[in-house]
Chains A and B, each alone.
Chain A
Amino acid sequence: MTSRKTVLVLGGSSDIGRAAARAFAKAGYDVGLAGRDVAALEPDAADLRARYNVEARTFTFDVLDTASFDGFVEGLPALPDVVISIVGLLGAQESAQSDLAHATTIMRSNYEGPSLILGLFAERFLGRGSGTLVGVSSVAGDRGRASNYVYGSAKAGFSAFLSGLRARASRGGVHVVTVKPGFVRTKMTEGMKLIGPLTVEAPVVGDAILAAVENKTDVVYVSGKWRLVMLIIKTLPEAVFKKLKF
């Protein structure tokens, strides 16, 4: 083992996960990439080693398999300095309205799994007295909207979990970052109509996560415009809001 700092990225094969891993590796961190398909993560690990001359390893992690979480944390070669959860599932709102299995998967992927795993790491970090946890939530969690409230409500739960965890953990030397990326051009949003000025590329999110960890920021809206947009959306009276179609 080197004496360099380490980051573990949960959801390492996502575009934001890859971008975050690159940002941290560039800053000199050794990287662990965790995801369901560990073979698919290997090319990304090789990319980090070739580019930045850091150590990069891969781990199997399934956010829906909560029973495996204790063993997963236990099985890591060392407790990382930073853990980032980028896991999430946009799903399809329309099917989630009647397909309970799909709705459950969305809720578990965006709320239950990410909260539980970061909660587990929080206990270890508090025991050690240091560490940073990053949860990638969503502006969709700021207010439930007609077009994506199943996903949005799960993200709202995750944001609330992170907020509470931050308040508790900050007294024990552990920092918690909530990231709300807004629109990002990724595999997840491919084919969606995104509003150009409100849309960023994945590397911008990766850099924002690194900056938030280094500056100990609490809540990050990757594009400042989103903070304003969501402020307006949050303050609309319900009587007006319910008439909006978005």
Chain B
Amino acid sequence: MTLVSGWGRFPVVDSDVLRPRSFEAVGEAVVAGSVARGNGRAYGDAAIGAVRTIGMTGFDRVRSFDPATGRIRLEAGVLLADLIDTFGPRGFLPFVVPGTRFVSVGGAIAADVHGKNHHCEGGFGRHVESILLRTGQGDTIEISREQNSDAFFATVGGMGLTGVILEATMRLRPVETGWIRERVISASDLDAAMRALDVGDAATYSVAWIDCAARGQNLGRSLIYLGEHAGKGELAAGADAFPLGKKPGLSVPIDLPSMTLNRTSIRAFNELYYRMGARRAGTSHVVSLYPYFFPLDAIAAWNRIYGRRGFLQHQCVIPQDGARGVLGEILDRVARRGDASFLAVLKKLGQGDGILSFPLPGYTLALDFPVKGDILSFLDEIDRLVVAAGGRLYLAKDARQSRATFEAGYPALSRFNAIRKALDPDGVIRSKLSQRLFDEV
């Protein structure tokens, strides 16, 4: 047994980790209580097997690529970072990228990850045409919108619980360059931020960074980053059409003392960050896709900044109607508490694709908290607000929500469970997350 955790390093639990090297070996590795794991960027317990964790990053081959259509067939362990570095210079990028490029294709499908363009392009799963799935029952089946469509829509966003994703066929997006024309809008409070995001519906990419240390009349003050793919004509003379993806230049080599992030340091950082950003507001400039999409990837192992006990990311989505009141209440409680990090993100989402996909039309707010003190009960209180507003939490980030919160947020759960049961009657595929939220006890 090995101690395993997600990116948030909470919880840390025992699981037997195997890294099979062939699809046959995957079949042999799956025992009762197994789940697949990609690059381990789910924050909580989603990619930890109840008994055994099947590491999939060794499956990193591209099977075929058609530059005429952008259609690509690949193994599930290919990282988006690898796809971007390999196919970006050839003029193709994934349609949807989350906030880190160090996720596997299999993980991106299982969590149906969203990017800064969910309002336009949907989630990662929308661009997946078919999936090769090894079910808990031991069948290897090709699933798509036309073929085994129940299994397909349960697998997109299904947190790996329908089986092991072995391969996928998806479309890449043709781009002229690897640069983004970015426009920054400064919003002095939450109303202004939400208005700016509404304006951002017309932009290809939009996201708001919220200063969650700001209170009172500054509550919800934000910087909104809108982005469009830049054409070749917009680049500075002599610039490469595709910028190089630098390896992380900085790293957090050790667990920092948990006091590193405190009310004072966070307030000071956020004040500085907001002022620097506000100075650029209104202007438009071209930036490399890497800092635009993946600002935190520049710092390797940034999860260590929260100290040895790890951290929790709380990401909820609140339906459009009534979102203003609930978001204001959450931000006010967080600001009064004072220990949420600089990573607070507000985005708009559209309709989700998978049966258990997180997105629904509304606003999503993501907050990081170090694991200490009464944080668990504080977040339970926040969950009550989310549920009352008809919202829900993102399973890829979750390490601690209650069954009641989960069941209230995902009304399609019974349909998902029925499909899962048909694919895996003996309940072989089980993760720590499914034990916590799905499985009969």
Contact = CB atoms under 8 A, between A and B. Distances in A.
A-B complex is real = yes
Contacts of B377: none
A190 interface: yes
B398 to A, nearest CB: 29
A127 interface: no
Interface string A39-68: 000011011001111000000000000000
Contact of B64 (A46, A52, A190): A46
A190 B2 CA distance: 14
Contact of B61 (A26, A43, A52): A43
Contact of B63 (A26, A47, A52, A53): A47
A44 B61 contact: yes
Interface residues of A, number: 11
Contact of B65 (A43, A44, A51): A51
B86 interface: yes
Nearest to A48: B62
Interface of A: 26, 43-44, 46-47, 50-53, 187, 190
A51 B88 CA distance: 11
- For the complex of A and B, list the 8 residue pairs with the smallest distance between their C-beta atoms, beginning with the closest: A47-B61, A50-B65, A50-B62, A51-B86, A47-B62, A50-B64, A51-B62, A43-B61
B19 interface: yes
B21 A187 contact: yes
Contacts of B65: 50-51
A161 B103 CA distance: 43
Contacts of B21: 187
Interface of A, helix, strand, loop or mixed by DSSP: helix
Nearest to B89: A26
A219 to B, nearest CB: 24
Nearest to A47: B61
Contacts of A187: 21
B276 to A, nearest CB: 34
A26 B72 CA distance: 18
B61 A46 contact: yes
20 contacts: A26-B86, A43-B61, A43-B63, A44-B61, A46-B61, A46-B62, A46-B63, A46-B64, A47-B61, A47-B62, A47-B63, A50-B62, A50-B63, A50-B64, A50-B65, A50-B72, A51-B65, A51-B87, A52-B86, A190-B19
Nearest to A13: B21
Contacts of A26: 86
B295 to A, nearest CB: 23
A52 B65 CA distance: 10
B418 to A, nearest CB: 35
A23 to B, nearest CB: 12
Contacts of B86: 26, 51-52
B339 to A, nearest CB: 30
Contacts of A51: 62, 65, 86-87
